[in-house]
C-alpha cells in the first residue's frame, strides 16, 4: 500500500511539472509590445545659459502588439517630457521630446522614466551636460566724452 501511495505522489509531481512547462511555452507565444530606444542618454555637452534645451529620444516598437506609453516623468521640474499618447503599431517609430530649462546654470544630470505596456515596461532615459553662464555684455558706448578732473 505504501508503494502504491508513493507511486501516486511521484506521478502527481511529474504531471504538475509538465503542466507548468506547457504554461510557460504559452506565455512565450503571447504577442506583447517591446520598446527599443536608439539611445538612452543625451549629452548636451557644454551649452550657454538660455540656449535651446530641447532634445529627442527616438524609439521603436520592436514587439508584436500595439505599444502604449502610459507615463513619462522627469526627476526634476526643470525637465519636461512630451510623449505620444496614441498607440504605436509594431515596427513603427515615435519620439519623446524633452525640454530642459537652460536658465539654470551648472551641471545637467536628470532622468526621465518612461512607463508603458511593453515587456520592458519601465525604461530610464538620461540627459547630461553643463550650462555655462552667459557672458556679461559691456555697456554700449553712448558717444559721451569722459569727464576731466580739475587740478
Which position has the higher pLDDT, 101 or 14?
101
Within a domain: 124: yes
Within a domain: 63: yes
DSSP string, 106-138: EEEEEEEEEEESSSS-EEEEEEEEEEEPPPPPP
Within a domain: 147: no
Within a domain: 81: yes
Q: How many domains does the chain have?
A: 1
**pLDDT score of 25:** 47
**pLDDT score of 149:** 59
pLDDT in tens, 36-77: 999 999 999 999 999 999 999 999 999 999 999 999 999 999
pLDDT at residue 151 tops 70: no
Within a domain: 151: no
pLDDT in tens, 81-106: 999 999 999 999 999 999 999 999 99
Within a domain: 2: no
Within a domain: 18: no
Cβ-proximal residues to 91 (8 Å cutoff; 6+ apart), any chain:
60, 61, 62
Predicted confidence band of residue 137 (pLDDT cuts 50, 70, 90): confident
Predicted TM-score (pTM) of the model is 0.72
**pLDDT score of 5:** 47
Give the 3-state secondary structure of residue 6.
helix
Within a domain: 16: no
**pLDDT score of 3:** 61
Q: What average pLDDT does this structure show over 13-21?
A: 50
**pLDDT score of 148:** 61
State the CATH number of the domain containing residue 121: 2.60.40.10
For 116, the domain range is 35-132
Amino acid at each position: 500500500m505504501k508503494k502504491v501511495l508513493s507511486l501516486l505522489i511521484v506521478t502527481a509531481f511529474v504531471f504538475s511539472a509538465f503542466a507548468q512547462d506547457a504554461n510557460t511555452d504559452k506565455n512565450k507565444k503571447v504577442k506583447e509590445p517591446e520598446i527599443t530606444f536608439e539611445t538612452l542618454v543625451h549629452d548636451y555637452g557644454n551649452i550657454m545659459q538660455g540656449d535651446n534645451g530641447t532634445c529627442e529620444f527616438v524609439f521603436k516598437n520592436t514587439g508584436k502588439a500595439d505599444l502604449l506609453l502610459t507615463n513619462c516623468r522627469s526627476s526634476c521640474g526643470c525637465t519636461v517630457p512630451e510623449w505620444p499618447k496614441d498607440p504605436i503599431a509594431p515596427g513603427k517609430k515615435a519620439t519623446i521630446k524633452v525640454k530642459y530649462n537652460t536658465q539654470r546654470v551648472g551641471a545637467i544630470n536628470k532622468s526621465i522614466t518612461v512607463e508603458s505596456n511593453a515587456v520592458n515596461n519601465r525604461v530610464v532615459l538620461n540627459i547630461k551636460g553643463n550650462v555655462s553662464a552667459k557672458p556679461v555684455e559691456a555697456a554700449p558706448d553712448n558717444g559721451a566724452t569722459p569727464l576731466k578732473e580739475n587740478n
